[in-house]
Structure formats: C-alpha cells, structure tokens
Chain A
Amino acid sequence: MTTRQLVSAPQYLAFALATAIISLISASAAIAQTEACSNSNGHVDFCDDLAPSACVAQGGISLGPGTRCPVGQGTIYGNLNGDGVVDLLDVEPFALALVDPDSYDASFPDGNIFLADMNLDGLLNGIDIPPFVERLLFPPPCEFGRKYTFAFKPGGDPTGARARITTHNMLLCGEPFDTKPGGSLVFVTVTRLGSPQRWAQTGYARYRSRTPPHSLTVRYLRYAETKAGILPLDYEWADGPAPEPGAHLYDCHLLSQLFGTWLFLYDDELWHEFTRPGWIGQRGTGVEWTNELWNANDGLAGTPSKHCLFSQCQLAQNWNEFEDTNLTAFDLNNSDPNEYAIQLLSPTSFEIWDLNP
C-alpha cells in the first residue's frame, strides 16, 4: 500500500523561499564567506571582537567573550533591511548580504549586515539560509494575553486627551502566516473609574480578527470608542480609514458636559462624535496614552532601533482647552519590563519599544 505524502503550505513556502533566495544568490555570484575580525576602526561593528564589558561600554549587546558585539539594530537576526522586524522584505537584502556585502551596505544604509549570521557561527554563508527561512515561516507562536505599555496621569477631572503618535513595526505574532487573533493598538483615552467604568478613546489599531476562516487578513484602521454605562446602547465603536504613514495627532474631548458629547479628531480634523447620556454631568478621573497588545508577542509600536514616540501629550480640564501634561517617571507603566521598554523624554513626551520584536 502506498501512502501519498502531501506537502503542507509551510513546507511549500519554505521551499519557495529557499529557492528564491538561492536564485537571487545565483544571479549574482558565489557566496563570499565573510569572517568576523577585529579591525579597530573606531566603530563597534561586524568586524570587532570585544570582551563583554567593552561591548556594553560601547553601547552594544554582548553575546559573550570572544564573540561579536552587535549594535544598532539590536539582536533581531534576519532583520536585514533595518526596519526592526523580520519579514518578506528582508529576503532580498539577506541574499545581497551573503553575496555582495559592499552592495548591501550601499543599498541598505539602515541595515546591519551582521544580522544575516542566522546560525551565529561568525560567518556569513549558505548555512545561514535554512535558519533564515525558518525564522520567516515559523516565528514564535502567539501567546494570548493582553499587555499594556502606557503613561497614566490620574486626577484632575479631565475632559480631553491628545497626543502625536509615531509608530513603527506593530507586526502581529506569526504574521503573515498565523491565523490567530492578534492586535497592536495605540491610543489616547479619558477614563472614568467606577462602576460602570466609562471611557472615551481614539487611536488606531492593526489587528487580525478572530473571524474564521480569513484571519490571515491583517486590518489597519483608525477608531473611536465610548463606553458610558451598562447597556448595549451605552457603547459605541467607529472605524475610519487607516492613517497615512508618519506621525499623527489624536484628540478626543468632551464638547459638552450638558449633552455628553465627545468629539474625535485626527490631525486636528473632526472625524466623528458620540453623544451619550451616560457622560452627562461626568468628567474623567484620568488620562492615558497607551500601546495595547492582544498577544505578548504582538509587535509593540517601536523597535530597539526605532522607538514609538508619544509626543505633545496634553490633557484638557476645561473642555477643549488643552494644556501640557506634566508627565513624570512615576506615570509610566509597563506590564512586562522583560519584553518592553518605556522611557520618559520630557513632561509631554515618552517613548516605548519592544525589546524582542
């Protein structure tokens, strides 16, 4: 009896990717094996071997005595185009890094050729191809559990919150092959603690819904949300077109305590409003600037090399009259310091990044 062996989708993709990389390499030249060395050129780079203390002193990440000292992109092996994540956009620079390091440096000035050393043997050669393909196809599995990295300013009876948010990455766990729900959201919120909890919030979301069977699809939308009581009608959600790349200003504020009307602005333009009886006569009890993840390994909106910046953080205590927030280090919160970092830059700005994107 003969059993017919079917090739699974990941196996097929692995084969296709490996073939593509080898084709790219073949089209250029044979792989020129590049070795680690010490060149003492004044920069900590691919050609330096440093003791751990010397590595750390120069801003690098030590991989142990006698090993190289990667800097710049952190240790995101496989991230060859310098965007902080490993995805299909790294295939071409990876191939180039192996066959023509000089062209790689010229073509990808933000990249770090050292990160093509996928098997960490100190050499760039064909042996790095299988682990690169494996990293592309089998990223760490999704681990459901919400994580929050945020600044919270309690008190003050706020009526509005806003910030300019600059993001990078937000790659979801397992993307682009995983089908599990995932999400990375950045937003500003006015919250009112109590029962029921109330909030008004706006920002944007990059997410993969739990709708079967098309959850491979990653959606990217701007949104506004209010909650003002316990009933279905006390809750509303609205989606708008995805933000253009770059930094954008998000603003939600109470127009009227008399009617409970919230306005939602994007780059200073009104795009939606909600009027809810549950907000009549109410104000917030705090303001938040947040990056929410649905899975621990969904991408935070910043990487070690490109941090996510929340700037112009302001709150309103008198309708739409915004004033600078006096953020301090005590206002910063991080649900997993081993995975994420948050750092105060000024009383109105802070940045966050994923330590292991």
Chain B
Amino acid sequence: MPSTSHHPDPGVKRGRGVVVGILLASLLSVVASPATAQNQHSMAGMGDHPRIAIPPGALYTVADVTFLQGMIAHHAQAIHMSRMAARHQANAAVQRLAIKIEQSQVAEINIMQEWLARNGQFVPDTASWHTMQMSGMLTAAELQELDAASAGAFDRTYLTLMIQHHEGALEMVRDLFATAGAAQDVDVSVFANDVVTVQTAEIGAMRQMLSQLADQ
C-alpha cells in the first residue's frame, strides 16, 4: 500500500512525444540547479524564445502564447521554492502546502506545455525560470534569502515570498485578460481562470497560516 509520504515523481508519464522527455529531464534538473542563474529579463523580452507566429484563423494571440510560456517559468520557480520546504524542516502545515503547490503546478505545467506543443509554439522547459523574470518571481537575492533561512525562519519567509509569487501570477492573468482579443481560446481561458481561483484561495490560506505563525 502506498504510504502518505510525498515523493511524487512528476516525470513518470507513459505518454508519447518529445514534451514528456523534456519535462522529465528539466523537472529533475530543477532540484539540482543552482538558484543563482537568474537574469533580469522582463516579460517583454523573454530571453531567446523564437519569434511567435500565429497561424491564420487561430483564435489565440501572441499574448496567449507569451502568457503560457511565462507561466511555465513562473510555476517552475514556485516548484523550486516548494521543494526547499522539507529540507528546511518547515512546519507540517507549510510542508503540506508546499507539496500541494508542487503537485498542482507540475500538473499545470503539463497542461501549458501540451497546449504550446499542440499549437506548434515554442515549449519552455522547467529550467526556464533561470532565464525569465515574470511578475512576482523571486530575484536571486530573494531566493538566497529563502534558501538561507534558518529552520525557524523558513516558514515565514516561504509564505511571504509565495504570496508575492502568487500575486504575481494573478497579475499575469490580469494583464492577459486586459489584452484585446486575448484568452479567447477556451483552453487558455479555462486555465487562466483556474490560476486565479486556485491561487486566490491559496493566498487566503497562506495569509491565514502567516497570522497563525505570528500568534506563536
């Protein structure tokens, strides 16, 4: 019988296609990669991605493609942050939240990568967070602060930075929805709404957890 220990292997997939291979390799590399390779790319200048071409008749826009590409990096950094929790002996509630965020966002990265691949767009891997700086994402200094936090201080730092991180994701969705013609593709629209719903709820839960830390 499976136990309740949480060591999901997000890369175990029986599916076909190159995406799966990239995902497997890169998710594993998230754990091992140093947290210092960030650069200061803005959302507008997303590194070395190929120019985005929208096929005639498509319902999606450049904004949809850049949103998903950027959100892959955004999620990948959240997973990187969350995988620190066990190592830093976070309290049980924070560890469970971290596992939940990891499992949720691994699944969402799959969805985003599948959409981009299906539509013939460039598919960032999960190492992309090293080279992309989306809103709410931690700077190299903030990541260092998190990784250097003592066992007692980690919980507060993690929750505070993850709230910031989530609020950045909400801002990315707001920017997407504010772009004329964007998010009409139903997959993008459903996904973006899910991000808002889930991360809004998680921000509420994290604020609650922070206030409980403050009580101690």
Asked if A pairs with B, the answer is no
